[in-house]
Amino acid sequence: MSRSWCCLPIALLALLIGCAGTPAEPDEPGVPDWVLSTPEDTRYAYGVGSAPLRGDRAEARRQATDSARSDLIQNLRVTVSGETRAWIERVRGEEGGPVSRGFVQEVHTRVPPTTLDEMEVAEAVLVPDDNTVYVLVRLDRPMATLRLTSDLNGIRNRLEDFRGGGSPGEERIDTIRRLRPALDLIAEASQLEDQLRLVSTQPLSRARVVESHAFVINELREALDSLRLQIDGSDMSERILSGLQGGLLSAGLRVGGSEPPDLIIGGDVSLRTVERAPDYFAFAEGRVVIYAPDGRLLGQFEHSAREGSSDPGLAEDRVLSRLGQTLGRALGEQLISIL
């Protein structure tokens, strides 16, 4: 009897030890630590994103990943000091005319954005408590730096082919057509340089492409802003024709003269004035067409403008001048398709 009671504590102890050694069911995952505090690493840059789960887990993960990528880029931007002037600002400035500004702006919008392919999803967690998907993305900065530098050097080498490539007596339109691909490369290089400044831990060791290859922009800008225009006013009233010429000239475009034109501008432009006492409002609407000197139709677009004044004649002068100025920029944008 005494021996049985002595064995009982031992049995209970063994039972307790056995229960303690049995692995418990894992708890539901909570919000990861990297959500509350973004990891810091000398090699990797991180970004955190989240998205609510509304039935489609794959879609929630995609949204969370996009959010994390944006967060990573924003974190990189915070670490970059100084300001970056986009290459297009060089041509947007006062030294560029409306045709070159419109042309370069259109090139800028057509060049597809470059991406940081080195971004990868490091972790993705679904937290049932708040029905949210959390994603951690990371960017291998040394690898991205190496790839961006290689791509950038390749563009620099290709741009060298445009140095001194024009032939003597080359027509302005031919110059624009020849240099157009170089402008695409400069736009792409500018994107790569901006990304390189974000991901690299060292400052850029070379001048930006827009500076080292400014000869391309300068030659192209000169050809664009020296285009000689001729207005075909056969379908326009004398007042409208005179107003358009004045607007184009005031914008710095070259209209008329003894030289053969590079482009011919025609179309139908209407003008009407409405009195709304004590002011008058003039409306100009037109379908503008662009021809080559040999009569080929190159392009067309529509535009309207409105100006007001207490004097009806002044309102009409203003709206025609504005239409002419706008035409210069639209012409530059249209040249992208023409060429």
Contact status, residue 289 vs residue 267, Cβ threshold 8 Å: yes
- Residue 30: strand, helix, or coil: coil
Retrieve residue 241's tokens.
Answer: 């024709």
Residue 266 placed within a domain = yes
Give the model's pLDDT for residue 120: 94
Residue 192 placed within a domain = no
Residues in the chain predicted with pLDDT less than 70, given as ranges, are 1-29, 78-95, 339
Give the model's pLDDT for residue 141: 93
Give the model's pLDDT for residue 85: 44
Residue 269 placed within a domain = yes
Q: How many domains does the chain have?
A: 1
Give the model's pLDDT for residue 17: 39
Give the model's pLDDT for residue 308: 92
Give per-residue pLDDT as tens, 193-227. Answer: 988 988 988 877 888 898 889 888 888 888 888 88
List the beta strands (DSSP E) in 251-330: 254-255, 263-276, 279-291, 297-309
CATH number at residue 285: 3.30.160.150
Give the model's pLDDT for residue 309: 93
Residue 198 placed within a domain = no
Residue 96 placed within a domain = no
Residue 135 placed within a domain = no
Cα-based torsion angle of the residue sequence 216, 203, 148, 210 in order, rounded to the nearest 10 degrees = -10
Residue 257 placed within a domain = yes
Give the H/E segment covering residue 277: none
Enter the pTM of the model: 0.72
Give the model's pLDDT for residue 15: 36
Give the model's pLDDT for residue 150: 95
Give the model's pLDDT for residue 10: 42
Euclidean distance between CA atoms 185 and 188, whole angstroms: 5
Give the model's pLDDT for residue 274: 93
Residue 299 placed within a domain = yes
Query: How far are the Cα atoms of 50, 68, 185, 339 from residue 180, in angstroms, in the given order?
Result: 42, 36, 9, 8
Domain housing 247: 228-338
Euclidean distance between CA atoms 293 and 228, whole angstroms: 11
Query: Minimal CA–CA distance to 279: which of 305, 320, 306, 312?
Result: 312
Contact status, residue 261 vs residue 202, Cβ threshold 8 Å: no
